[in-house]
Structures are given as C-alpha cells and as structure tokens.
Amino acid sequence: MSETSLLRRPALRWVLAAVILVVAATVALWPREGADTTGVVPQTSRQTSGVSAGERAAAGSQPCPPAAATGSGPLAGLRVSCLADGEPVDLAAALAGKPALLNLWAYWCGPCATELPHLQEFAQRAGSALTVMTVHSDPDEAKALSRLTGLGITLPGVEDSQAAVRSAVGAPAVLPVSVLVRADGTIASVEVRTFADVADIADTVSAKLGVTV
C-alpha cells in the first residue's frame, strides 16, 4: 500500500493533526530567552490619585500629624491619605494622645465652604490644645485641593474617597459633619450641622471635649 493511500485514511489524518497541535502548543508556551516570568505587576497597572506634586504644593496644606501612639477607638486601623503629600495615614495613630476635631466635607458642598474658614481661624486660636483636621469625603482629590486653594484653607487634611470615617463613626450621609474625638480615641460627639462661627466651634469643643480655647 502506498504512502499516499495511508494518509487518505481518516484515522491517520486525525492522529497527525493531533501531533501537530501538541507541537504548536509546546512551542507557544516555551519560555523565551529574557522573558519576565516573575509575575511582577506592570507599573502602568498601579493605581494613582492623579494629583500632581504641583497641585499639592499650590494648596499649601499643612503636614498631617505623625503617628503619636497606637490608635484606638472606632477609627483604629483606618488608613487614609494625606492631602499635603499623598502618603498613607493611620488616622487613629495620628490623632492619639490629643483631643481632635475632624471636619467631614466635600468640594461640592456649599455649607462646607462657608464653615471651613471658621475652622481655620479656630485652629489658629486653639494652637496645640487640640488637632483640627479636614476629611475630604469624595473621590475627587484634585477638586478638593483646588477648592482648598481657592478658599485659602491650609489645615492638615486627608482624602477619604470611600467615606470610611463617616461609616466608622456612624454619621449620616450628609455634609458637613464634625467629629469630636477624645484623646483616648473614643468619640465625644458627632455634630451633624454647620458651625455658625468661631465662637460656636469653641463653645461646642468646650462642652463636648472639655477643651477651652
């Protein structure tokens, strides 16, 4: 029987086709010289905030407080990013050991824009007696920095794109909200309103935190 007649048999043709497919698959999967097989995630796939160093510098936000101690209370373990430099911040650790006022706001919130200058003036008046920090509760960090620049607000602030602080303290989904935190990390009060002026802030801090400035 000739070779031509053998190849015409259906069974032999299927066997040859299978062998060809196996060889082709082996060649395709064989590591090439110099190929990267370490599984490192490409640089282009890493998530960034999209905010430039120039935008942060223009806002002039004060640095976030360094971690003073191990944080406790409902904010323990909560990590956000500092508006001044984009670096991660362990919020409870940064606030530990001193009373604090956290002001939850967003760039699109009108009452927030009215309240922020009062908070800045109060912070200057309070000095080192307590920490006053803004918490931007919206994913658009660039617009937050632009808004702060326009208002001339330089308070230390953090970006909380997932509104994790609001969830942690049980605040409603409205803005602005001010959270008064004791030195031990427990929550003294959640103020769901807009402060009228500096005197209003000072009176509330004195009543809820026992800090008179």
For residue 152, the Cα-to-chain-centroid distance in whole angstroms is: 22
Model pTM? Answer: 0.76
Tell me the angle at which helices 110-126 and 141-151 cross, rounded to the nearest 10 degrees.
60
- Which residues, given as ranges, of the chain have pLDDT below 70? 1-49
pLDDT at residue 94 in the model? 95
Q: Give tens-digit pLDDT for 139-152.
A: 999 999 999 999 99
pLDDT at residue 58 in the model? 87
Q: Give tens-digit pLDDT for 100-112.
A: 999 999 999 999 9
pLDDT at residue 20 in the model? 46
- CA distances (Å), origin 127, targets 53, 122, 180, 186, 208: 28, 9, 16, 22, 18
β-bridge pairing 157-159 and 187-191: unpaired
pLDDT at residue 49 in the model? 62
pLDDT at residue 37 in the model? 26
